[in-house]
Amino acid sequence: MSSTPVPRSTAGAGAGTAAWHERWWPAPTTWLAWLPAVAGGALIALPILGPVGAAAGAALGAALAVVVLLSMASTVEVADGHLRAGRARLPLHVVRGVDVVPAEQRRAALGPELDARAHLAIRSWVPTAVRVHLDDPADPTPYWVVSTRHPQRLADAIARGR
């Protein structure tokens, strides 16, 4: 599934208005991987409750799959002077700079170039990211790596928010 970026201008924005909002939905292949839960629910209930039970078991398996997959969805947002990635929040006044990490450099950024102290807010199915460098003497975290399908737009929103 695609993300839904909602770039908005912060000029004249009221409290709670996001300058950037993107939702990370699980990839279509992840949704397909949960099809066995539907079939499994049906097969478990079939010998005990017959065809009606199989339908109920399939529905229960589908409901379980949807709940799990929706719990995997998360957001990236720039609003009210903060960058929010999932549950983590970063005040924008500690941001020193932002680098775009294109898809072809993502592996290196998350492997050999990665600082073990970095905060990672990534999803494997989102191919690009931004690296947000921090300037906070009280925090040992040198930078955040945040997945986004629109890295330049997110970098611009962070820069505007600083």
Segment 84-115, tens digit of pLDDT: 999 999 999 999 999 999 999 999 999 999 99
Tokens of 108: 């290196």
Provide mean pLDDT across the span 117-126: 92
104 occurs within a structural domain: yes
Average pLDDT, the chain: 88
With cut-offs at 50, 70 and 90, classify the pLDDT of residue 12.
very low
Residue 100 lies in a domain: yes
Alpha helices in the chain (DSSP H): 28-33, 35-72, 103-109, 151-161
Q: What is the count of structural domains for the chain?
A: 1
Q: What are phi and psi of 34, to 5 degrees?
A: -90, 0
Question: Would residue 124 count as lying in a domain?
Answer: yes
* Cα separations in angstroms, 25 against 66, 74, 114, 124, 148: 12, 7, 25, 11, 11
Please report the pLDDT score of residue 13 as a whole number: 39
Residues of the chain above pLDDT 70, percent = 90
Average pLDDT over residues 20-27: 88
Does 156 map to a domain?
yes
Give residue 145's domain range.
Answer: 79-161
Q: Is residue 70 part of a domain?
A: no
* Residue 16 pLDDT: 53
Residue 5 has pLDDT above 80, yes or no: no
114 falls within a domain: yes
Tell me if 23 sits within 8 A of 35, measured CB to CB: no
